[in-house]
Structure 1
Amino acid sequence: MSTDQPVKHIITNKLREAFTPENLDVIDESHLHEGHSGHRPGGQTHFRVYIVSPAFKGKSLVERHRMINTTLAAELAGPVHALAIKAQAPGE
C-alpha cells in the first residue's frame, strides 16, 4: 500500500477493480471515533462502504462481506480498524 495515497482512495480503487460496481460510496468516518479504540491521529481508520454490484447477485450477506473483506485484506490487517459494509446486487 502506498503511503502517499489516502486509504479511502485505495479502498475505492480496489473495490472498483474487484466488483465493477454500479454504485460505490466509501465514507471515512474516523472523525466519529475520536477517543475510541483503533482511532489514530490523522484518521483513515474507520470506514463505511455502500456498494451495488452484479457480483453480489445470489450471494448471502455473509458471502458479500467475505468477498469485500478478502479484497481489502491488506487494509484490514493494517490501517483500517473498522469497516461497515452495505453490499447489494442491482435492484435490491
Structure 2
Amino acid sequence: MPQPSDRRTRIEAALTGAFTPVTLRVTDDSAGHAGHAGASPDGETHYSVEIVSEAFEGLSRVQVQRTVMMVLQPEFESGLHALALKASAPGKAP
C-alpha cells in the first residue's frame, strides 16, 4: 500500500496503528517556525501531538515519550525536526 504523501497523515496513521488512541490530535506548527533551525520552506517540520491511549497505562512519562519517538523515527529521518508531545493514559494528566 502506498504511503500517504503528507506528514500529518503519516503521523496519524503511525500513532493510530501503534497505540489505538482514544484521542489523537496532530497539528502542523511549521508556519510558526519559519526561519528557525530545522524549518523548511515547504513546511512539515514542526508538529504538536496530543494523544491519549490505554497503551500508556503504567508507563513513566519518559517511557511514553521514547515509545512515541520510536514509532515516529521514520518521520524524523525524513525531515521532521521537532515534536511537541502531550501524551497520557485515559484519566491521567499529560
Runs of 4+ more than 3 Å apart:
none
Does residue 6 (structure 1) correspond to residue 6 (structure 2)? The answer is yes
Alignment length, in residue pairs? 91
The corresponding residue for 1:25 is: 25
Does residue 51 (structure 1) correspond to residue 51 (structure 2)? The answer is yes
- TM-score (normalised: structure 1): 0.94
Alignment partners' CA distance in 1, 2:12 and 2:88: 16
Gaps of 5+ in 1: none
Q: CA deviation at 1:78?
A: 1.7
1:14-68: CA deviation from partner (whole Å, max 9, x where unpaired): 0000000000000000001011001111100000000000000010110000010
Alignment partners' CA distance in 1, 2:7 and 2:79: 8
Alignment partners' CA distance in 1, 2:90 and 2:84: 19
- TM-score (normalised: structure 2): 0.92
Does residue 68 (structure 1) correspond to residue 36 (structure 2)? The answer is no
Does residue 37 (structure 1) correspond to residue 37 (structure 2)? The answer is yes
The alignment's C-alpha RMSD in Å is: 1.2
Q: CA deviation at 1:79?
A: 1.3
